[in-house]
């Protein structure tokens, strides 16, 4: 398909996303996030050949929030192995909100999956004795091909002073013997990782590396092992949009991870990474423009994981 045709499809998708913005709201439970401009929207694509297509606010910096959960999970899997990580955290969709502790308290002795806060706090507790935040930031820069990534201190401080719910989850995890390292240190590491500033373009770069199975096509370097990448993409498909993951998988069919900063990272296997920035969120905490935008792309470009033809 020629570039012009692709650009006109991307513009169509962008318009669908923009129409949905008024129906959502920026996150305010972390007060600093409430300062975002609800009308911002960016769409960045990086193909496996390293070509970029950018529309809108693709260089605006915003905090990665829960998309950092896949970076921490990748690092944990690479260094501790699959069995050790999944002894502590499950692989099942929870059907609950990202910050729920109900299922964990009532029905389970481990968090349902590493994409909800309880699971990600558990992964942080595993990483805490092994890595410094600086090393994890470097890893994030490497997988996002973005050396400018750094902590947003204002968002970090803002979340740390409104951390009661995550602190409750972390101590519940300790009471169940799931967190065995320093609880406060695990909370801080998790929150710092959520506070890294990225762009839609950095997310599309990371998505592209996941799409290639873990190789940076620009250098030929293997950045993540194929086994880890397969696990990450599977968990993105089943759990990446929290309790909206099932509908998203049916309608869009592109493994995607969201963050309450407004970011989305999507992977079209063997084809491209997609990064979206839109801080207007739906009631589940996912970028509200994302679903219509990505559904349009999926249908027009044949990107559904189980239907690669145009609908
Ligand atoms: N830092 C946020 C929190 O723990 C991340 C949540 C999210 O992006 N869904 O609440």
| Tens digit of each residue's pLDDT (9 = 90 or more) over 166-191 | 999 999 999 999 999 999 999 999 99
- Gap from CA of 63 to ligand 1 centroid (Å): 10
In a domain, 306, yes or no: no
Is 225 a pocket residue for ligand 1 (Cβ < 6 Å)? no
Is 123 a pocket residue for ligand 1 (Cβ < 6 Å)? no
Same domain, 278 and 252: yes
In a domain, 309, yes or no: no
82 counts as catalytic: no
Angle in degrees, CA 145, 147, 148, rounded to 5? 120
How much is the pLDDT for 3? 85
Same domain, 207 and 58: yes
Q: Which atom of ligand 1 is nearest to the CA of 120?
A: 4
149 to 105, 138, 169, 284: CA distances (angstroms):
36, 8, 28, 27
Domain boundary among 194, 211, 238: 194
Same domain, 88 and 183: yes
How much is the pLDDT for 308? 82
In a domain, 310, yes or no: no
- Gap from CA of 156 to ligand 1 centroid (Å): 11
Is 63 a pocket residue for ligand 1 (Cβ < 6 Å)? no
Two structure tokens written together for 58: 């693709």
Q: Which atom of ligand 1 is nearest to the CA of 285?
A: 9
260 counts as catalytic: yes
Candidates 27, 57, 25, 24; CA nearest to 158 is: 27
Alpha carbons within 13 angstroms on the beta-carbon side of residue 73 total 31
CB 218: neighbour CB atoms within 10 A? 13
Same domain, 108 and 156: yes
Per-residue pLDDT of the chain (311 residues; tens, 9 = 90+): 788 999 999 999 999 999 999 999 999 999 999 999 999 999 999 999 999 999 999 999 999 999 999 999 999 999 999 999 999 999 999 888 899 988 888 888 899 999 999 999 999 999 999 999 999 999 999 999 999 999 999 999 999 999 999 999 999 999 999 999 999 999 999 999 999 999 999 999 999 999 999 999 889 999 999 999 999 999 999 999 999 999 999 999 999 999 999 999 999 999 999 999 999 999 999 999 999 999 999 999 999 999 987 54
How much is the pLDDT for 269? 97
Same domain, 129 and 182: yes
Same domain, 118 and 145: yes
In a domain, 156, yes or no: yes
> Are residues 32 and 163 in contact, defined by beta-carbon separation less than 8 angstroms?
no
Report how far residue 251's alpha carbon sits from residue 298's, in angstroms, rounded to the nearest whole number: 9
What's the CATH code of the domain at 121?
A: 3.40.710.10
Same domain, 187 and 232: no
Catalytic residue chosen out of the listed positions 53, 139, 242, 277: 242
Is 100 a pocket residue for ligand 1 (Cβ < 6 Å)? no
Same domain, 58 and 70: no
Domain boundary among 194, 218, 248: 194
Domain count, the chain: 2
- Gap from CA of 297 to ligand 1 centroid (Å): 27
311 to 28, 150, 273, 294, 305: CA distances (angstroms):
38, 41, 21, 14, 12
In a domain, 311, yes or no: no
Is 194 a pocket residue for ligand 1 (Cβ < 6 Å)? yes
Domain boundary among 145, 172, 194: 194
Same domain, 178 and 206: no
Is 285 a pocket residue for ligand 1 (Cβ < 6 Å)? yes
In a domain, 308, yes or no: no
How much is the pLDDT for 251? 96
Report how far residue 238's alpha carbon sits from residue 216's, in angstroms, rounded to the nearest whole number: 25
Same domain, 60 and 204: yes
* Proportion of the chain above pLDDT 90, given as a percent: 92
Same domain, 217 and 281: yes
CB 205: neighbour CB atoms within 10 A? 24
Supply the range of the domain harboring residue 95: 66-194
Same domain, 178 and 79: yes
């Amino acid at each position: 398909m020629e570039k012009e045709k692709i650009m006109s499809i991307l513009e169509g998708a962008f318009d669908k996303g923009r129409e949905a913005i008024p129906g959502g709201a920026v996150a305010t439970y972390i007060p600093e996030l409430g300062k975002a401009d609800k009308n911002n929207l960016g769409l960045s694509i990086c193909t496996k050949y390293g070509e970029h297509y950018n529309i809108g606010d693709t260089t605006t910096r915003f905090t990665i929030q829960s998309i950092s959960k896949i970076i921490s999970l990748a690092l944990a899997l690479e260094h501790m192995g699959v069995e050790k990580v999944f002894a502590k955290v499950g692989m099942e969709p929870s059907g609950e909100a990202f910050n729920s502790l109900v299922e964990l308290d009532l029905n389970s002795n481990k968090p349902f999956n590493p994409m909800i806060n309880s699971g990600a706090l558990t992964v942080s507790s595993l990483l805490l004795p092994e890595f410094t935040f600086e090393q994890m930031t470097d890893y994030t820069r490497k997988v996002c091909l973005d050396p400018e990534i750094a902590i947003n201190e204002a968002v970090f401080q803002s979340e740390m002073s409104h951390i009661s719910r995550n602190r409750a989850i972390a101590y519940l995890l300790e009471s169940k013997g799931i967190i065995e390292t320093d609880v406060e240190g695990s909370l801080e590491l998790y929150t710092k990782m959520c506070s890294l500033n990225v762009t839609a373009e950095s997310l599309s770069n990371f998505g592209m590396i996941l799409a290639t199975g873990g190789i940076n096509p620009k250098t030929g370097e293997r950045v993540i092992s194929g086994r880890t990448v397969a696990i990450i993409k599977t968990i993105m498909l089943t759990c990446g949009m929290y309790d909206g993951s099932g509908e998203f998988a049916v309608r869009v069919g592109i493994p995607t991870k969201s963050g309450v900063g407004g970011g989305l990272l999507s992977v079209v296997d063997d084809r491209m990474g997609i990064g979206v920035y839109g801080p207007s969120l739906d009631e589940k905490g996912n970028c509200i423009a994302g679903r219509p935008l990505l559904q349009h792309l999926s249908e027009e470009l044949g990107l559904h994981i189980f239907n690669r033809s145009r609908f």
